[in-house]
Structure 1
Amino acid sequence: MEPQPFEIERQRVGAQKIGERSWKETKKMWEIAAPAILTAVAQFSIGFVTVAFVGHLGEVELAAVSVVQNVIEGFVYGLMLGMGSALETLCGQAVGAGQIDRLGIYMQRSFIITITTAVFLTPIYIYASSILNLLHQSTNISEPAGKYAILVIPQLFAYALNFPIQKFIQAQSKIWVMTIISVVVLAFHVLLNWVLVTKLRHGLLGAAIAGNISWWLVVSGQLIYVVSGYFPEAWTGFSLSAFKSLASFVKLSLASAVMLCLELWYYTVLILMVGWLKNPEIAVDAISICMNLQLWTLMITLGFNAAISVRVSNELGAGRPKAAKFSVVVVVVISILFGIMFTAAVVAAKGYFPKLFSGKPEVIRETSKLGYFLAATILLNSIQPVLHGVAVGAGWQYSVALINIGCYYAFGLPFGALLGYHFELGVRGIWSGMLAGSLLQTLILMLNLFRANWHAEAMQAGERLRSYASSPLPQSEAAARGLNPED
C-alpha cells in the first residue's frame, strides 16, 4: 500500500527535526570537545615530548622513563583523574540545576581529598625501584627508573591540583583559557627539554626538571584563572564548608577513581607482563612506544569523554532525560568515526611512527610488527572513553567499576597470560587477550547504555545534589522530581 502524501510529509518533517537537533547537539558537543581535546593533547604531550627526547639518549633511558610514565605515573595519574571525576559528576549536575554557587565548595573538597591522596602516594615514588624489582622488572631498567621517579615527585602534587581545577572549569564549559595555558606550556616544555636534555646533556635529571616546571606552570596558570574573578558565582573564596560532607564525597571519589584506574591500569599491566618475558628491553621499548601513541590518540577521545560528561550531567541536573539520551547517541557516532580514521592512519604509518621515538633498528622493527594490535586498541578506545563519560555524567561509577573488574581482570588478563606465556605467543598473545577483555567490556557498557531508564537517572541526579549539599538547596518542583516540564 502506497504511503499517503501527509504521511510522507510527516516523515520528512520528522527527519528534518532530527537533523536540526543533531546539528545543534553536535555544535554544543564541539564547543566543549574541541578545547578539551586540545587541552588533553597538550598536557599529555608533556610526557610525550619527554619520551621523544629521552629516547635518543639510549635504550635503557627510554625504557626507564617509559616504565615510570606507564607504571608509576600511570597508576597515580589514573587515581588523581578518577578522584576528579567525582567532581565532574557533581559540578556538571549542579550547573544543570542552576546551583552554580556550590561549585567552588565542591572543588575545595576535591582539593582536600586529592592532596591527602598525593601524600599517601609519595612512598610509591620513593620506593619505585624496589617496587619494580618486586614486579620482576629488569634491574637494568628498574634502577634508573627508581632514580627518575624520585625526581618527578613534584608532578604528583601538580596532578592533585590539576584535575579538580579542570573539572570545575570544564563543568561550566569555559575551557579555552585552560587550552591556551596548556598549549603555551607545551611549547615551553619542548624548549626546556632541548636546553636541559640535548644541549646541556643533563640526561634524566634534565628531563625531570623540565617536566616538573611545565606541570606547575599549567596548574599555576589555571588556578590564577579561577581566582581572578572570571567565575564570580562559582568561586567566592575559600570556605570551611569544604570540610563538611567529606565522607560522602570521599565515597564517590573513590568509586570514580576505582572505575577509571581499573581502565588505565589495564594497559599498565600490559607493560609489566611484557617485562616478564625473556630479554625484555626491546619488547618493553616497543610496547611503550605503542602505548604512548595509543595514549596520545586517547587524549583526543577524552575530549569527547569530557563533552558527553558535561552534556549528560547538565541535562540530567536540569531534569531533561531525553536531551541527555540524544546527546549520548550523537557523541558515540562522532567518536566512532574518529576512531576509524585514527585506526586507518596507524595501519598506514606502522613502519614510520616508531622512528619518532627511537633510532635503534631492533626497536623500530619490533614496534612496527605491533601496528595492527595498536590499531585495534585505538578503535576500541574511540568508544570506551565516551561510555565512561556517560557513566561519570550520570553517576554510574560503582557499576562500571564492577564491569571493569570482570572484563579486564577476571577475563582479559588471564586470557592474555595464557596466550603470551603458555602458548608462547609473547607480546602479541598478551595484547590479544587484553583486547578481548576490552571488547567484552565495550559490548556490556553499550548494552547497559541502551537499556538505561533516563527519567529515573534525572530523578536520581536531583537526589544526589541534595545529599551532597552542606545546606538545604531550593529547587523548583520539576527539578525536585528530576524532570523538566517540557521533556
Structure 2
Amino acid sequence: MTEVGRKMRSWGEFGHEVKRVSAIAAPMMVVAVAQYLMQMVVVVMVGHIDELSLSSVAIATSLTNVTGFSLLSGLVGGLETLCGQAYGAKQYNKIGIYACSAIISLLIVCIPVCISWIFLDTFLILIGQDTLIALEARKYSIYLIPALFGGAIVKPLVRLLQSQSLTLPLLVSSMLVLCLHVPLCWAFVFNLKMGSIGAAVAFSLSNWIYLVLIVFYVSFSSSCENTRVTISSDAIIGVKEFFRLAIPSAVMVCLKWWSIEVLVLISGLLPNPKLETSVITICTRVSNELGAGNPQAARLAVSTVMFLTIIEGIIVSMTVFSCRHFLGKAYSNDKHVVSYVAAMGPFISLSIITDSLQGTIFGTKTEYGSGI
C-alpha cells in the first residue's frame, strides 16, 4: 500500500471511530448534564428564597459531594474497567457479578458517610462556620441520605449499561426524571413552603425515580439477559477485587473534586459568608477494545476522544465566558452575587478546558491501569 493509501485509510478509520465514539459519548454527555442540572435546579430555586437558604444549601451540597457523592463516583470507576473488559472479552456473566459486588461495596461505604452527615453542623461550627448556615446545612444533608443510598445502587447499574453501549435507556430515563424534577422541586420548595428541606426531599425522590426506571430496564430488557445482577457468593467474594481497583480510582476522582468543593467551604469563613458562599456555588469505548484484545483500536479510541474533548471544551468555555454577565441572575437577584459571578467568568472558562482534558485522561488511565 502506498503512503497516500495508508494516510487515507488512517483518516477513514479515524472518521469511523469518531462516529462510534460520538454514538456512545453523546447520550452519556446528556445523561451527565441532566444529573448536574438536577442539583442546579435545587440551587437555583432555593437561591430565590434568601441568602441563608442559598448559602446553607451551597455548603451542604459541597460537603455531601466531598464526603459522599464524589466518593461513590470515584469508587464506581473501578467498575468501568471490570465490566468494560468483561464485555469486550465476551464474559457476559461476569458483568452482573461485578455490578453486584459494586452495589454491596457502595452500600457499605454509605453507612459511615451517613453518620458524618448527621453531625455535619458540629463539624462546620468547629471549623468556624456561621451557626445558622451550619444548622440549615445539616438539615438539608440529612434529607439527602436517601439520595446517597439510591446512588450506591444506580451508579453501578449505569456502568453496567454503559459498558454494553446501552446508552439510550439512560438518556431517556435521565431526561424524563429531569422533566419531573423541576415541577417536583418547585412544588416542595414553594407550593408546600418547605424551603431548602423541600429541595432535598425533591432531589432524593427524583433520584429514586431514576433508580426505579434503571432497575426496571435491567431486570426486564432482553438486552441485559446475559448480564443480570444477582446476589451470589461470587459477588460477595468479588468485593475485595472491586475495592482493589476502586480505591485508586476514588483517590483520583476525589482529589480533583475536593479541590473544587473546598473553595465553597473556605468561602463560608470569609467576612460575608452568605454572599461569598453563594457566589462560589454558582461558579467506554477503550475498555471494550482492551477486553477484546485490540490495543491498537483502544489507542485510536483515545486519540478520537481527546480530539472531541478539546473541541467540546473550547465551545463550552467560550459559551460560559460570553454569558458570564447573565449566569448569576439565574441563581440570585442580589446584584453583588451577579457581579461577583461575572468577575469569576474568565477563570471558570479556563478551568472547563483543563478539567475536560483531565477527565478524559483519567478515564484512559483507569482502563489501561488494570494491567490487562
TM over 0.5: yes
Separation (CA, whole Å) in 2 of partners of 1:33 and 1:247: 30
The question of 1:232 aligning with 2:206 is answered no
Alignment-derived partner of residue 14 in structure 1: 6
Alignment-derived partner of residue 196 in structure 2: 204
Alignment-derived partner of residue 179 in structure 1: 171
Q: Share of identical aligned residues, percent?
A: 33
Offset, 1:159: 1.2
- Of 91, 102, 105, which residue of structure 1 is paired with 2:83? 91
Assess, with a 3 A threshold, how the Cα gap between structure 1 residues 158 and 86 changes in structure 2: closer, same or farther.
same
Worse overlay, 54-63 or 15-24: 15-24
Alignment-derived partner of residue 317 in structure 1: 291
Assess, with a 3 A threshold, how the Cα gap between structure 1 residues 205 and 271 changes in structure 2: closer, same or farther.
closer
Preserved contact between residue 99 and residue 229 of structure 2 (Cα < 8 Å): no
Separation (CA, whole Å) in 2 of partners of 1:163 and 1:15: 41
Preserved contact between residue 335 and residue 383 of structure 1 (Cα < 8 Å): yes
What do residues 225-262 of structure 1 show as CA deviations (whole Å, max 9, x unaligned)? 11114311111743222112432322222222122111
Alignment-derived partner of residue 412 in structure 1: none
Preserved contact between residue 59 and residue 281 of structure 1 (Cα < 8 Å): yes
Preserved contact between residue 75 and residue 264 of structure 1 (Cα < 8 Å): no
Offset, 1:219: 0.8
Alignment-derived partner of residue 246 in structure 2: 253
Normalised TM-score (structure 2):
0.96
User: What are the residue-to-residue correspondences of 1:376-455 with 2, within 5 Å?
Assistant: 376-395=350-369
Separation (CA, whole Å) in 2 of partners of 1:115 and 1:237: 16
Offset, 1:273: 2.4
Preserved contact between residue 72 and residue 124 of structure 1 (Cα < 8 Å): no
Give the match's secondary structure for 1:69: helix
The question of 1:326 aligning with 2:297 is answered no
Q: Which amino acid aligns with 1:285?
A: S
What do residues 62-118 of structure 1 show as CA deviations (whole Å, max 9, x unaligned)? 111111112223431111011111111100011111111100100111111000001
Give the match's secondary structure for 1:382: helix
Separation (CA, whole Å) in 1 of partners of 2:161 and 2:309: 23
User: What are the residue-to-residue correspondences of 1:33-432 with 2, within 5 Å?
Assistant: 33-230=25-222, 231-235=224-228, 237-290=230-283, 310-395=284-369
What do residues 171-210 of structure 1 show as CA deviations (whole Å, max 9, x unaligned)? 0000111111111111111011222212232212221221
Separation (CA, whole Å) in 2 of partners of 1:73 and 1:134: 20
Alignment-derived partner of residue 444 in structure 1: none
Separation (CA, whole Å) in 2 of partners of 1:319 and 1:181: 33
Give the match's secondary structure for 2:356: coil
Preserved contact between residue 97 and residue 229 of structure 2 (Cα < 8 Å): no
What do residues 455-484 of structure 1 show as CA deviations (whole Å, max 9, x unaligned)? xxxxx31xxxxxxxxxxxxxxxxxxxxxxx
Give the match's secondary structure for 2:279: helix
Offset, 1:392: 1.7
Q: Between Structure 1 and Structure 2, how many residues are aligned? A: 371
Preserved contact between residue 67 and residue 271 of structure 1 (Cα < 8 Å): yes
Offset, 1:289: 0.5
Separation (CA, whole Å) in 1 of partners of 2:359 and 2:241: 25
Preserved contact between residue 93 and residue 226 of structure 2 (Cα < 8 Å): yes
Separation (CA, whole Å) in 1 of partners of 2:188 and 2:155: 28
Alignment-derived partner of residue 25 in structure 1: 17
Q: Supply the RMSD in Å over aligned alpha carbons.
A: 1.5
